[in-house]
A and B are shown apart, each in its own frame.
Chain A
Amino acid sequence: MNAVVPGMERKDKGARSLPLGLTAELTYRCPLACPYCSNPADLAQRTGEMTTEEWISVIDQAADMGILHFHFTGGEPATRRDLPELVAAARGRDLYTNLITSGVGLTRERVKGLADAGLDHLQLSVQGVDAASADAVGGYKGGFERKMAVAGWVTEEGLPLTVNAVMHRHNLDRLEETITLALSLGARRMEVATVQFHGWAERNRDALMPTRAQVDAATATVRAARERLKGRLVIDYVPGDYYATVPKACMGGWGLKTLTITPEGLALPCHAAQSLPHLSFQSVREVPLRDIWLEGPAFQAYRGQEWMREPCTTCAHRERDFGGCRCQALALAGDAAEADPACSRSPHHGAMVALAGAASTSGVTEWRYRPAVGKS
């Protein structure tokens, strides 16, 4: 929302507002093995998913503290048999319920069950525009075919569909076809997300990093498609920021609008926050959600501006981009309180651009898949 339209208020900038959205990672289990998975890199050590009752407590606490959007994700959330029950509980508290899914594991009956439970919206990931390329990324034969079927079941139910496409060096040249695919599946909305190099993607940086020319072409393609498809398909775009000059406003501000709960109940300011090893995270199994949000040390760590250093401290953009991504600052500038090196004012910016350029022309075509996680 940028333009001022009668009837819609401008966004206000509360310093310590309560969150609008909660992302519930129900499980790390997933049939796919995407090499850019945003789940933590130490998956093998993870155990102890929260129970149905524990998640319903999270839903109640979220509703009580004014959260409006509740996103079910994972891993693959459909691997949880209690998914319809959790959707119904969230909808029962008037939360807007969103399912972020690979589609694998859904059947026509399960989609209908979710719609009947009050699901508001479904977001389906696609890894490519045909079975061969898509299944090679997901590491799961038959995945593409199932996704196409799931999209049909979703629109049959009348549910709004978003197609979510993670883009990287091996599929960016087919962005136009990907947009066409989303339209043909009946999507009202699409997310074009250039891969973010955290977690598994960081390990596969050489294989996945797009070239500068690809990123520039993608930006132009999205701009043209948005104009052409106005009123038909809404496109949200996460550009590749390795070649950017201004950083992204990560999470819309740390501890400002949203939070994530992991399968075992840890509350995170950002889904990738566990890549910041100096932070400790509280569990909703031990501390009320509201207290974690308002006072938890991980949420306080980079909230507001007190933690900032130059060049952020005196930069006019700090109100808008919040200094960028903390995880990227740690990974590439060596300290999470530094400016995101995506910013041209960061002393590490040149090194980041050089690293991206080298990775994008590395010629590496093999990636490491994310390993499967056993049922806990």
Chain B
Amino acid sequence: MSETSTTGGPSTRDRPRLPRGVRTRFDDTRGTWMLLAPERTLKLDAVGAAILAEVDGEKDVDQVIDALAIQFKAPRDQIARDVMAFLGALGDRRMLEMDPPADDPPGERVAEGTGVGP
């Protein structure tokens, strides 16, 4: 099921991606995944690393949740809550962009980099 936020925020059919200048890497020195962004270093726990491993700019949020529910054999509701909280927090920090669904008509696409949600 797809949900649409009543506040005009992103829908679960939007496709999350890390914008240029935001990337993950494994930190050998500290033995952990890190998310690197302008002037920021976020240490990712297993959940965060798993979510970002599914964020590829192609899958929509629903598909990311589905993939993780299978991977972790966990209730979808629980996974959905974690994913939405995590992606929302990254979005607030401008570490994540949301592209509209691939089948949306052209012209409704929001220009990259404006930061304004659809």
Chain A positions near chain B (C-beta within 8 angstroms): 1, 3, 5-9, 11, 18, 20-21, 65-66, 68-69, 94, 96, 98, 120-121, 123, 155, 158-160, 162, 186, 188-189, 191, 230-234, 236
Shortest Cβ-Cβ A-B pairs, 10 listed: A66-B29, A7-B48, A160-B21, A7-B86, A232-B115, A5-B89, A96-B36, A121-B38, A9-B43, A6-B82
Q: Quick check: is B67 within 8 A (CB to CB) of the other chain?
A: no
A162 and B40 CA atoms in complex are apart in Å by: 12
A8 to B43, Cβ gap below 8 A? Answer: yes
B44 to A186, Cβ gap below 8 A? Answer: no
Q: Quick check: is B42 within 8 A (CB to CB) of the other chain?
A: yes
B94 to A234, Cβ gap below 8 A? Answer: yes
B21 to A231, Cβ gap below 8 A? Answer: no
Least CB separation from A1: chain B residue: B42
Cβ of A8: which chain B residues have Cβ within 8 Å of it? Answer: 42-45, 48, 86, 89
Q: Which of A160, A232, A236 contacts B19 (CB 8 A)?
A: A160
Cβ of B34: which chain A residues have Cβ within 8 Å of it? Answer: 68
Q: A7-B47, A158-B20 are in contact. Are A189 and B36 (CB under 8 A)?
A: no
Q: Quick check: is B57 within 8 A (CB to CB) of the other chain?
A: no
Chain B positions near chain A (C-beta within 8 angstroms): 19-23, 25, 27-30, 32, 34, 36, 38-45, 47-49, 51, 82, 85-86, 89, 91-94, 112-113, 115-117
**Which residue among B34, B38, B117 has the maximum number of chain A CB atoms within 10 Å of its CB?**
B38
Least CB separation from A186: chain B residue: B113
Cβ of A233: which chain B residues have Cβ within 8 Å of it? Answer: 94, 115
A5 and B90 CA atoms in complex are apart in Å by: 10
Cβ of B39: which chain A residues have Cβ within 8 Å of it? Answer: 69, 98, 121, 162, 189, 191, 236
Q: Which of B22, B28, B41, B85 contacts A69 (CB 8 A)?
A: B41
A20 and B85 CA atoms in complex are apart in Å by: 26
A189 to B38, Cβ gap below 8 A? Answer: yes
B92 to A230, Cβ gap below 8 A? Answer: yes
A230 and B41 CA atoms in complex are apart in Å by: 19
Least CB separation from B89: chain A residue: A5
A159 to B20, Cβ gap below 8 A? Answer: yes
Cβ of A7: which chain B residues have Cβ within 8 Å of it? Answer: 44-45, 47-49, 51, 82, 85-86, 89
A18 to B29, Cβ gap below 8 A? Answer: yes
A232 to B85, Cβ gap below 8 A? Answer: no
Cβ of A66: which chain B residues have Cβ within 8 Å of it? Answer: 27-30
Q: A68-B41, A162-B39 are in contact. Are A5 and B85 (CB under 8 A)?
A: yes
A121 and B39 CA atoms in complex are apart in Å by: 9
B94 to A188, Cβ gap below 8 A? Answer: yes
B47 to A232, Cβ gap below 8 A? Answer: no
A11 and B44 CA atoms in complex are apart in Å by: 11
Least CB separation from A7: chain B residue: B48
For the complex with contacts A6-B86, A20-B41, A121-B21, 15 further pairs of A-B residues with Cβ separation under 8 Å are: A5-B89, A6-B85, A8-B43, A8-B89, A66-B27, A66-B29, A98-B38, A120-B21, A160-B21, A162-B38, A186-B113, A188-B19, A188-B113, A188-B115, A230-B92
A98 and B38 CA atoms in complex are apart in Å by: 8
- Tell me how far the C-beta of A280 lies from the nearest C-beta in chain B, rounded to whole angstroms: 28
Least CB separation from B34: chain A residue: A68
B113 to A6, Cβ gap below 8 A? Answer: no
Residue pairs across A and B with Cβ atoms less than 8 A apart, 15 shown, are A5-B86, A8-B42, A9-B43, A66-B27, A66-B28, A68-B34, A68-B41, A96-B23, A120-B36, A158-B20, A188-B115, A191-B39, A231-B94, A231-B117, A233-B115
